[in-house]
Amino acid sequence: MRCSALLFLVSLWAVAAGALELGAAIRGDALKPRGERYEATVPDTLDLAERARLAVHGLTSFLNPAADYAPYGHVYFNANPPYMSDMPGGPPNWGKIAEALLMARVMSGSTENGDVDEKTFRGMLASSWMTMNPAAPTPVSVAMLALMTAWQLDPNDDLKRIIDGVAEEHVQAAKQGECDARPCAYYYDGPSDDKETALGVNGLWLSVFIQGRALRPLVEWSALEGNRKWLEFSDRLVPFLVQPKFWTAEAAPKAVAGAEHGQFCGHHHSYTQALLGILWYADAVNDARLKAFVRDSYAYMRTFGIARIGLFGEGCTTGDMTLLALKLSEAGVGDYWEDVDQYVRNHLAELQITDAEAMKKAVAQMPAGRGKNDTTQGAFDPKNETTENVIDRNVGVFLSDSTHPTLVPESNFLYTICCTGNCTRALYAAWESALRCTDGVAQLNLLLNRASAWVDVDSYLPHEGKVVLHNKTARKLSVRIPQWVDKRAVRAEINGQPAPAFWVGQYLVFDAVNAGDEVVITFPVVESTETFTLKWKQTEFWKESTYPGPSWEPLKEPARYSCRFRGNTLVDISPRDEGKGLPLYQRDSLKSTTVPTHKVTRFVATTVPKW
């Protein structure tokens, strides 16, 4: 089949004298998960690979076969029956879903609905959304990330040429200008959006979002392909993004130059996307000043919501903040693993739909007809909307409301497709980064269940302070112990005997281990009760902005939540909001000190793409 739908890129994607055959670039068999599978009995605690298995189900089941397997844009659970709608937001976010699907398969090895991957990639590439809009390249930018993940799994020349073509389209579409006396390139430099909305989305959010979204895939492709052309073009995208006009806080001390520290006022997901682009670039060119800028802005963002559990207003932002913390740690800017652990164990995990029965119980309370906050006009459209098996089809995807810590209320009981893409990518990045091995030295950064070619990890947290490492090929282990642990109380054994180990910062280092060794690390679990004040009103729609609007006022007595933790895991929270909706943090089982176990099929992928 010729790529007639891709004629707008013929000059870039041509192969010799003929047009590129799409089938030669996207090969379904090559995208299937490859690796080793084996049965194991492990602690029934948070396992990101098992969460990814659920994600594969949702990511393949909530697509629309009648629309070339495009994702639906919104799902409304605040209606009975619940329904999926393709507008707004579905196809423009196609790349996020295609990328997330491949990543979830690598994590879990799931082959469920295995024929869907090729179909959704083909549909995406043939879609009109792949046509470059010079002022709004984001749908193409996110598709480029998906294609790059596919290329890492199947590095064929035809796919490489497609990605090069998409990268070149980014270069050609950019406008040229001057930013603070420096040459710069940009896509959109629109006016400030000052209208007041329920979401709080206003200001210059669109300019930074588009620029940040375009910047990251170009930097990543430069590193993967080894072509500095894309990085050199990125040299001109960054000056536009760091202009002071974009970095002005709602309020700041008079003596603080907030623009130099990444403070901002506006849509936080747009700004975190900008920060991700800047950070990827700063790491690639080793720009210490830009790294510090992102670090300061990340710290500023942590002052909103309840950062202790990863509650930042919108699901997309929870995913973005997880990625920022991971990349800041990877880039050597600081140790942000504690933040990652807190986000992943709490709100990132909590936003994922894992219990169909709980969802059905919540939906049963909802009224008939269109759900609240549905902007779709007119009667129900059977071509572009569906009520068919909606809850079961969406098990594994992520909700969007990250504002309410105890209940997703009726008005917010829906999601937009972008959050599932961002949260799944964050889940993958946390899983991949949790355990790495270089030259026989394995580094465990997060005490989570994890299978690998080097070491298998069984985590008993939060029930017990215990982690068991089954060594396969590593000759040295470096294990990060959480900050809440008293180092003096840590004990370690190898094959039942006291193990020689030493500390390097938060890492407990075992200098010599052998294949087949079992390393057991134990420590007391610390329980704590912490109180957090949340100024966002529980009666309002989720907040997507640091600035709720000019007329918004906080309650005279904002909500104060008492949070009970076991280590970094939130096991209870009060007071709890009442009313229609989905209750959150129903975690009585995690209060037990008895660790349940279960049998799983562990999967170790042959190829693990970079994120």
Answer whether 190's CB lies under 8 Å from 202's CB. no
Q: For residue 175, give Cα distances in angstroms to 183, 233, 438.
A: 11, 12, 42
The pLDDT of residue 538 = 86
Q: Which CATH number fits domain 434-526: 1.10.3470, 2.60.40, 3.10.20, 2.10.260?
A: 2.60.40
What pLDDT digit, counting tens, does each position of 508-528 carry? 999 999 999 999 999 999 999
Compute the mean pLDDT over every residue in the chain, rounded to the nearest whole number: 93
Domain ranges of the chain: 434-526, 527-575
Could you tell me the sign of the dihedral formed by the alpha carbons of 522, 524, 529, 530, in that order?
negative
Using 50, 70 and 90 to split pLDDT, how confident is the model at 5?
A: very low
- pLDDT surpassing 70 at residue 274: yes
Residue type, 36: E
Task: Pull the structure tokens for residue 208.
Answer: 């930074």
Q: What is the mean pLDDT of residues 552-569?
A: 95
Q: What is the percent of the chain with per-residue pLDDT over 70, rounded to a whole number?
A: 96
Answer whether 298's CB lies under 8 Å from 291's CB. no
Task: Round to whole Å and give the CA distance between 177 and 511.
Answer: 54
Q: What is the mean pLDDT of residues 54-65?
A: 97
Count of beta carbons in the 10 Å neighbourhood of residue 608: 19
The pLDDT of residue 22 = 63
Using 50, 70 and 90 to split pLDDT, how confident is the model at 87?
A: low
Q: For residue 266, give Cα distances in angstroms to 192, 488, 513, 527, 541.
A: 10, 44, 51, 36, 16
With a CB cutoff of 8 Å and minimum separation 6, the contacts of 455 are: 435, 437, 442, 444, 469, 470, 471, 472, 474, 477
The pLDDT of residue 590 = 97
Residue type, 540: E
What is the gyration radius of the CA atoms in the chain, in angstroms? 24
Using 50, 70 and 90 to split pLDDT, how confident is the model at 551?
A: confident
What pLDDT digit, counting tens, does each position of 182-219 carry? 999 999 998 988 877 777 787 899 999 999 999 999 99
What pLDDT digit, counting tens, does each position of 133-157 carry? 999 999 999 999 999 999 999 999 9
Lowest model confidence (mean pLDDT) among 10-19, 67-76, 160-169, 295-304: 10-19
Q: What is the mean pLDDT of residues 398-406?
A: 97
Q: What is the percent of the chain with per-residue pLDDT over 90, rounded to a whole number?
A: 86
Count of beta carbons in the 10 Å neighbourhood of residue 87: 16
* Ordered DSSP codes for 270-313: HHHHHHHHHHHHHHHHT-HHHHHHHHHHHHHHTTTTBGGGTB-E
The pLDDT of residue 217 = 98
Q: Comparing 61 with 89, which gets the higher pLDDT?
A: 61
The pLDDT of residue 463 = 98
Q: What is the mean pLDDT of residues 430-449?
A: 98
